[in-house]
Amino acid sequence: MESKIKRLATKAINKKGISEDDAKSLYEIGKDYPFMVFAYGSEIREHFKGKKIDLCCIINAKSGICPENCRFCAQSAHYHTTAPVYPLLSAAEIIKKAQEAKESGAHFFSIVTSGTAIGNKEEWNEIYEAIKGIAALGLKPCGSLGMLTDEQASALKNSGLYRYHHNLETSRTYFKKICSTHDYQDDIETNMAAKRAGLSVCCGGIIGLGETMDHRIEMAITLKEIGVDSVPINILNPIPGTPLEGNPPLSPFEILLTVAIYRFILPDKDIRLCGGKEKNLRQLLPLAIIAGCNSLMTGNYLTTLGRETAQDVEMIHDLGLRATLYLIHI
């Protein structure tokens, strides 16, 4: 079996990724030989990313009352949760937070908002002003602002935005089980608009929604086709009051195999393990790096708790790797 895994790892390195059929075959092998798959996932990670593990933190700039009905989300207006609700922070408030982030050692800074899209000219003007202010501090501005048109993406680029984040959440064939208030193609078009504008693109999803490994592989192939630069992988942390509050958790090994398979499919991309990693991986969290991820979201998340950044830095150093505070979202 090792020879087959090694062949796929070599293909991932030389051909910049494996096929959908290869990925499904790798998953079947991984059920019996998971540590072997993890080891080669780590080899691919180190080939493209070296020994540096990026850390990013996240805070919300606008929270709650989202009109979308994503069945996992605490910020959806369709469900009754305890998620905080507040409007967009002013440009001055965002720039102040960016200054604090810079003093903490951050190199990137991102504005994250709830909702389908930015809805009015006043909010756009605050965002443009904030982006220019963040750039003036010497930080790379990033954004997660909902759906975009080509015109809006170009305006963001012209304001100085570096990277745009917009998740697909799951595969095309599973999406309707998760959200019915917009179409999957809308999310793809937002990412393509960002790419056409010359923005770096961060796009991934959530696992543990009830999907199969085939659905996860399907999403990874779509991300490869889009040509994303960074892939956040969240693991469902069921929120009381949402339709998925009773979803059974994925096993740690299923999560780790997903990380490894994503590394084989998207070998030179940033694979970023995000929300839900602490609750679902528990003591096996370090194996996510061994399996192939090269970036971790650290601290707390939009509506759920994480763990102290110092713990993640210690873990990374214990693995003989280097930690870099990379990105702070607000």
pLDDT at 160 over 60: yes
Inter-residue long-range contacts of 184-187, CB under 8 Å, 24+ positions, other chains counted? 186/147, 187/147
- Altogether, the residues listed in the chain come to a count of 330
Could you read off the pLDDT of 180-229 as tens digits, one per residue?
A: 999 999 999 999 999 999 999 999 999 999 999 999 999 999 999 999 99
State the Cα–Cα distance between residues 208 and 203, nearest whole angstrom: 17
Q: Taking residues 263-274, report their average pLDDT.
A: 96
CATH 1.20.120.640 corresponds to the domain 2-329: no
pLDDT at 151 over 60: yes
The confidence score (pLDDT) of residue 85 equals 87
Helix axes 20-32, 2-15, angle to 10 degrees: 140
Determine phi and psi for 28, rounding to 5 degrees. Answer: -60, -40
pLDDT at 299 over 70: no
Dump strand ranges (E) for 203-294.
Answer: 205-207, 230-235, 270-273
The confidence score (pLDDT) of residue 301 equals 47
Least confident window among 54-63, 67-76, 272-281, 313-322: 54-63
State the Cα–Cα distance between residues 171 and 258, nearest whole angstrom: 14
pTM for this predicted structure: 0.93
Give CA separation, 2 vs 5, 26, 40, 43, in Å: 5, 11, 9, 14
**Inter-residue contact 61 to 89 (CB < 8 Å):** yes
Could you read off the pLDDT of 28-79 as tens digits, one per residue?
A: 999 999 999 999 999 999 999 999 998 887 667 888 789 999 999 988 889 9
**Secondary structure (3-state) at 164:** strand
pLDDT at 131 over 70: yes
Rg of the chain over Cα atoms, rounded to whole angstroms, equals 19
- At residue 258's C-alpha, the angle toward residues 254 and 260, to 5°, is 115
State the Cα–Cα distance between residues 93 and 114, nearest whole angstrom: 17
CA dihedral 246, 293, 153, 181 (to 10 degrees): -20
Helix and strand counts by DSSP (H, E) for the chain: 12, 10
DSSP 238: P
State the Cα–Cα distance between residues 191 and 150, nearest whole angstrom: 10
pLDDT at 116 over 50: yes
The type of residue at 130 is: A
- The residues spanned by each domain of the chain are 2-329
**Secondary structure (3-state) at 246:** coil
State the Cα–Cα distance between residues 5 and 135, nearest whole angstrom: 44
Confidence band (pLDDT; 50, 70, 90) for 127? very high
State the Cα–Cα distance between residues 222 and 42, nearest whole angstrom: 23
